[in-house]
């Protein structure tokens, strides 16, 4: 049977969070299809990779280790992966919708003529009927993503070309370890020279400048988020005071960012970050679908809003009906006294 393959991206010597999320999803898809889950990693020191991916249910790990693969470059990755896909013939091939995934996936899919659904927010399996021929195909990958400016959610299928390729946004799939930390599966060490020609290394990285991560919203267990209803930059700064007390991070809606209350890197939602903290405190946020797309999987949602019928209240666990200007100082005073 044709398996599921996941491209695992590296941050230094660690597998990126989005790749582990994809392995978690890949495992459940593989179980439903009754096939195996394979992962591929390219890099210069891969000694620590196996122990990171096998707990997420990988059956076979393909490694390409070479000092020239220390940093990602397009051509060697494309050549190695296209040949590996030719050999392994996976039915589904997944990558993160990261900077690397957005560069690599189109290269690979156009070389393989497989098609690609980019920036998915969900992956499911389902059947498809070709209305013209009447042909029915079972267990296709449904690649789900917002379309037409976020006004609809499109489900895209690729009935005839293989592999079915998709890139998936970071943070939308829950992490799920399914095997013990010391589980060891099948490791295949590939000889890079059999896959990549020297001319693929025509681009050399001479210098690298990495910008520090500006916030830790993705990993925060508490997020205090503000919307247009916060009213001003001065009010918005109070969210940082509360966040500091709670060891939380500050997020924002697009409307709050457009109003100049905070910076763009804090935007949560369809065109921003996807977060799933244990607690999400939404202050002056109406809960439009584009915002909810990025936070609806939070554990506990607390809404502070003057409008008792604000749409966000429908998904909130606790609602405080009131003005942010009055509620926030009370919360700050409360936690200052408690902590």
Ligand X SMILES: Cc1cc2nc3c(=O)[nH]c(=O)nc-3n(C[C@H](O)[C@H](O)[C@H](O)COP(=O)(O)OP(=O)(O)OC[C@H]3O[C@@H](n4cnc5c(N)ncnc54)[C@H](O)[C@@H]3O)c2cc1C
Region near ligand X per CB under 6 A, out of 33-41, 67-75, 103-111, 300-308: 300-308
Most distant CA atoms of the chain, gap in Å: 70
- 140-179 residues near ligand X, rule: CB under 6 A: 149-150
- 231-250 residues near ligand X, rule: CB under 6 A: 231
Nearer to ligand X, 89 or 306 (CB): 306
Contact indicator for 71, 100 with CB cutoff of 8 Å: no
Contact indicator for 143, 72 with CB cutoff of 8 Å: no
Verify binding: residue 228, ligand X, rule CB under 6 A.
Answer: yes
Alpha-carbon distances of 264 from 96, 214, 220, 259, 260, rounded to whole Å: 21, 11, 17, 11, 9
Binding mask 260-289 for ligand X (x = CB under 6 A): -------xxxxxx-----------xxx-x-
The CB-of-273 to ligand X minimum distance in angstroms stands at 8
Nearer to ligand X, 114 or 253 (CB): 253
Verify binding: residue 256, ligand X, rule CB under 6 A.
Answer: yes
Query: Pick from 115, 114, 106, 172: which is nearest to 144 by CA?
Result: 172
The CB-of-167 to ligand X minimum distance in angstroms stands at 18
Among 23, 301, 305, 316, which residue interacts with ligand X (rule: CB under 6 A)? Answer: 305
- 132: helix, strand or coil: coil
Alpha helices in the chain (DSSP H): 17-33, 49-53, 74-88, 99-112, 233-246, 254-258, 289-292, 324-338
Q: CA–CA separation, 74 vs 103, rounded Å? A: 7
Query: Pick from 312, 313, 272: which is nearest to 292 by CA?
Result: 312
Verify binding: residue 296, ligand X, rule CB under 6 A.
Answer: no
Among 77, 254, 266, 276, which residue interacts with ligand X (rule: CB under 6 A)? Answer: 254
Alpha helices in 158-232 (DSSP H): none
Peptide bond before residue 300 is cis, with ω within 30 degrees of 0? no
Among 290, 315, 319, 335, which residue interacts with ligand X (rule: CB under 6 A)? Answer: 290
Nearer to ligand X, 151 or 204 (CB): 151
For ligand X, how many residues bind (rule: CB under 6 A)? Answer: 31
Among 25, 145, 169, 291, which residue interacts with ligand X (rule: CB under 6 A)? Answer: 291
Verify binding: residue 119, ligand X, rule CB under 6 A.
Answer: no
The token pair that represents 221 in the structure block: 């267990």
Verify binding: residue 121, ligand X, rule CB under 6 A.
Answer: no
Contact footprint for ligand X (CB under 6 A): 149-150, 227-229, 231, 253-256, 267-272, 284-286, 288, 290-291, 294, 304-307, 310, 323-325
């Amino acid at each position: 049977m044709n398996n599921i393959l996941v491209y695992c991206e590296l941050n230094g010597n660690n597998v990126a969070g989005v790749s582990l999320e994809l392995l978690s999803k890949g495992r459940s898809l593989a179980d439903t299809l009754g096939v195996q889950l394979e992962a591929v990693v390219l890099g210069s020191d891969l000694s620590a990779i196996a122990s990171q991916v096998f707990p997420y249910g990988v059956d076979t790990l393909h490694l390409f280790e070479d000092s020239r693969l220390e940093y990602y470059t397009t051509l060697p990755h494309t050549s190695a992966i296209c040949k590996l896909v030719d050999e392994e013939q996976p039915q589904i091939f997944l990558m993160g919708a990261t900077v690397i995934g957005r560069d690599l996936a189109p290269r690979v899919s156009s070389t393989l003529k497989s098609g690609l659904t980019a920036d998915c927010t969900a992956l499911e399996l389902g059947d498809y009927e070709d209305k013209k021929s009447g042909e029915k195909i079972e267990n296709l990958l449904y690649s789900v993503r917002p379309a037409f400016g976020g006004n609809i959610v499109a489900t895209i299928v690729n009935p005839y070309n293989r592999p079915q390729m998709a890139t998936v946004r970071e943070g939308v799939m829950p992490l799920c370890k399914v095997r013990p930390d010391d589980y060891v599966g099948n490791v295949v060490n590939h000889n890079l020279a059999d896959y990549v020609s020297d001319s693929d290394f025509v681009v050399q990285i001479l210098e690298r400048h990495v910008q520090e991560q500006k916030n830790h919203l993705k990993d925060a267990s508490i997020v205090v988020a503000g919307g247009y209803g916060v009213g001003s930059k001065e009010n918005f700064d109070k969210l940082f005071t509360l966040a500091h007390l709670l060891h939380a991070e500050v997020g924002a809606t697009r409307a709050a960012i457009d109003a100049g209350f905070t910076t763009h890197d804090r935007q949560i939602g369809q065109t921003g970050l996807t977060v799933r903290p244990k607690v999400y405190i939404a202050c002056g946020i109406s809960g439009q679908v584009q915002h909810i797309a990025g936070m609806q999987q939070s554990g506990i949602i607390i809404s502070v809003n003057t409008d008792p019928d604000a749409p966000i209240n429908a998904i909130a666990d606790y609602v405080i009906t009131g003005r942010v200007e009055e509620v926030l100082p009370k919360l700050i005073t409360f936690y200052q006294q408690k902590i």
